[in-house]
Amino acid sequence: MSDKALEIENLYVSINKSIILKDINLNLDKNDFLAIIGPNGGGKSTLLKTILNLIRPDKGNISVFGKNPKEALNIIGYLPQNTFFDLNFPINVFNVTLMGRYNGLFKNYTQNDRKAVINALDEVSMLEYKDRQISELSGGQMQRVFIARALAREPELLLLDEPTASVDPKMQKSFYELLLKLKEKMTIILVTHDVGVVCEYVDKIACLNHILFYHGIPEGSADAIGKTYNCPIDIIGHGIPHRVFKKHE
Ligand SMILES: Nc1ncnc2c1ncn2[C@@H]1O[C@H](COP(=O)(O)OP(=O)(O)OP(=O)(O)O)[C@@H](O)[C@H]1O
Ligand SMILES: [Mg+2]
């Protein structure tokens, strides 16, 4: 397997004839933890979906551990943004997580699938809830189950699209600590608007507003981030309490 976790070259994506992603270039090594930030509509979710082969690019190249997106599907775990899921649907935590093992074929789940589900639920501290109906979970607990579903695939690359949207501050901290633990085993891309928190945890940061600005390590990149967002940004640094956005003029 290639040691390059992700290589994106000259990637262009358009939807309904408008260009959403323009000449994207990005390289990630194994065990990198990258945050992608950027304004609404900037193309963050589109980029993840393109890596997942859900959207075909106009041109350019994507390689995940040396494989093209179609071949790489079984090594990518994904937490979509806004998981619309009717929580009244009668299904328990175990079976939601088992969906993560689905690989496009109808088959009986094996003992290995079940083991991966148990491990994934254990990893997010939700194992004791495995027989619970999902209608009986809080929003934050449900979010953990969705992460377990992504982990059940035993991914090499984990894509998380705004995973902390419905998570309270205390849970958020333990959630980011979970990601630090997962980073030992896999490469992570986290899409988030939570610029402040991100600088404490991630190794690399990129801003996406149709064009991708890659900043490497977060420190010192405030100016460029401000340009991407079109709004001024205060200092961004590791572990320093700070206000991220200045007042808009
Ligand atoms: N299926 C679609 N049909 C038409 N337009 C789409 C579709 N999906 C995305 N778009 C458009 O593409 C652009 C990028 O959307 P995308 O969801 O990638 O943005 P984003 O950076 O994830 O934004 P947010 O921060 O709001 O999640 C937007 O202008 C959006 O309206
Ligand atoms: Mg999005």
From the CA of 69, how far away is ligand 1's center (Å)? Answer: 20
Average pLDDT over residues 202-214: 86
Q: What percent of the chain has pLDDT over 90?
A: 54
Q: How far apart are CA 41 and CA 234, in angstroms?
A: 23
Q: Dump the DSSP string for 38-77.
A: --TTSSHHHHHHHHTTSS--SEEEEEETTB-HHHHGGGEE
Q: Which protein residue's CA is at the shortest distance from atom 1 of ligand 1?
A: 15
Indicate the pLDDT class of residue 78, thresholds 50, 70 and 90. very high
Among the bound ligands, the one closest to the CA of 16 = 1
Q: Is 131 helix (H, G, I), strand (E, B) or coil?
A: coil
Tens digits of per-residue pLDDT, 162-178? 988 767 777 788 888 88
Question: Residue 177 class from Cβ within 10 Å (0-12 exposed, 13-18 middle, 19+ buried)?
Answer: exposed
Q: Which protein residue's CA is at the shortest distance from atom 9 of ligand 1?
A: 46
From the CA of 43, how far away is ligand 2's center (Å)? Answer: 7
Which has the closest alpha carbon to 97: 49, 143, 162, 51? 143
Query: Looking at ligand 1, which atom is closest to the CA of residue 43?
Result: 18
Rg value, the chain, Cα: 18
Helix (H) or strand (E) holding 211: strand 211-216
Tell me which DSSP letter residue 247 carries. Answer: P
Res 203: pLDDT = 83
Instruction: Find out whether the beta carbon of 40 lies less than 6 Å from any atom of ligand 1.
Output: yes
Q: How far apart are CA 161 and CA 230, in angstroms?
A: 22
Q: How far apart are CA 184 and CA 151, in angstroms?
A: 13
Res 89: pLDDT = 84
Mean pLDDT of the chain: 84
By the CB criterion, residues less than 5 angstroms from ion ligand 2 are: 44-45, 81
Lowest mean pLDDT among 69-78, 79-88, 136-145, 202-211: 79-88
Indicate the pLDDT class of residue 248, thresholds 50, 70 and 90. very low
From the CA of 34, how far away is ligand 1's center (Å)? Answer: 20
From the CA of 208, how far away is ligand 1's center (Å)? Answer: 12
Which has the closest alpha carbon to 144: 101, 114, 160? 160
Q: Which protein residue's CA is at the shortest distance from atom 5 of ligand 1?
A: 15
Comparison of pLDDT for 239 and 71, the residue scoring more: 71
> Is residue 191's pLDDT more than 90?
yes
Comparison of pLDDT for 214 and 243, the residue scoring more: 214
Average pLDDT over residues 210-218: 76
Domains, in order of start, for the chain: 4-85+157-229 (3.40.50.300)
Comparison of pLDDT for 248 and 68, the residue scoring more: 68
